[in-house]
């Protein structure tokens, strides 16, 4: 595992951290890195999507969920971190009027996306507490925020040529239904968050069901056209 230096690691909301790592490896919106603190336990790295890329720095937004992310949250500037990436394919080439839809920690890929396509509308859905809204508003005048409701209720798919989605499974399922009722035009892409072990397509623990058979979230995705995913 390659090593990189942590430049900062800041708590920005309850259980939500933003970490900046010195790495010239860059990446595209929707790609991810495998991150691992140097502790012996837990064994596996955590797949974390790219929040931002600046010159020789990559930023990650993550939520403390279990032991692995707790270890990440304990890292201080100057600490070494195990890092592999960028991995996965990222979102497809954008076209026309774009919308980005993020739920909770799923807003992470859209900061960097919005920097590249500031004309996009961005929908941010939070269950309890909103965060980073001002940062997003600095990049776009069309930021729609919802706390406690269903952000998917606010979207009219017919207004967009392409919609990128990242969030919890119920939200992506809602987007799939919305897409089906609007005639499956094939323009909605979802980022599949999944437990991974290797992150490179060898272990098959992140395998998901799609209309085209089993696919690997890490190496074939994590981005898939929403109508292809079979949610279990």
Nearer to other proteins by C-beta: 133 or 203? Answer: 203
201 is in an annotated binding site: no
166 is in an annotated binding site: no
Interacting residues of 177 by C-beta distance below 8 A, sequence separation 6+: none
Report the sign of the C-alpha dihedral through residues 25, 101, 74, 45, in that order.
Answer: negative
Report the sign of the C-alpha dihedral through residues 216, 219, 223, 225, in that order.
Answer: negative
Nearer to other proteins by C-beta: 42 or 168? Answer: 42
Strand pairing report for 162-166 and 143-147 = unpaired
- Residues forming contacts to other proteins in the complex (CB under 8 A) are 1, 36, 40-45, 67-68, 84, 195-198, 200-207, 209, 213-214, 219, 232
Shortest approach of other proteins to residue 11 CB, angstroms? Answer: 24
Nearer to other proteins by C-beta: 46 or 187? Answer: 46
Q: Measured over all CA atoms, what is the biggest interatomic distance in the chain, rounded to whole angstroms?
A: 51
Structure tokens at 28: 């595209």
Shortest approach of other proteins to residue 88 CB, angstroms? Answer: 13
Nearer to other proteins by C-beta: 74 or 149? Answer: 74
123 is in an annotated binding site: no
182 is in an annotated binding site: no
Cβ atoms of 87 and 151 within 8 Å: the answer is no
Residues annotated in a binding site for FAD: 46-49, 61-63, 68-69
């Amino acid at each position: 595992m390659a090593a990189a230096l942590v430049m900062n690691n800041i708590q920005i909301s309850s259980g939500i951290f933003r970490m900046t790592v010195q790495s010239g490896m860059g990446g595209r919106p929707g790609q991810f890195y495998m991150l691992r603190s140097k502790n012996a336990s837990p064994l596996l790295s955590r797949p974390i999507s790219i929040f931002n890329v600046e010159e020789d720095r990559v930023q990650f937004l993550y939520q403390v969920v279990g032991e692995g992310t707790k270890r990440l949250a304990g890292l201080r500037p100057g600490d070494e971190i195990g890092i592999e990436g960028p991995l996965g394919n990222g979102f497809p080439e954008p076209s026309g009027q774009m919308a980005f839809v993020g739920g909770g920690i799923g807003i992470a890929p859209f900061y960097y996306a919005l920097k590249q396509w500031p004309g996009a509308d961005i929908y941010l859905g939070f269950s309890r507490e909103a965060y980073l809204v001002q940062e997003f508003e600095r990049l776009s005048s069309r930021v729609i925020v919802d706390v406690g409701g269903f952000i998917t209720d606010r979207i009219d798919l017919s207004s967009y040529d392409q919609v990128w989605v990242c969030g919890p499974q119920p939200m992506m399922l809602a987007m799939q239904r919305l897409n089906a009722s609007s005639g499956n035009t094939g323009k909605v892409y979802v980022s599949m968050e999944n437990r991974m072990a290797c992150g490179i397509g060898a272990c098959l623990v992140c395998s998901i069901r799609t209309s085209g058979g089993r696919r690997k979230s890490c190496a074939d995705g994590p981005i898939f056209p929403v109508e292809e995913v079979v949610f279990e």
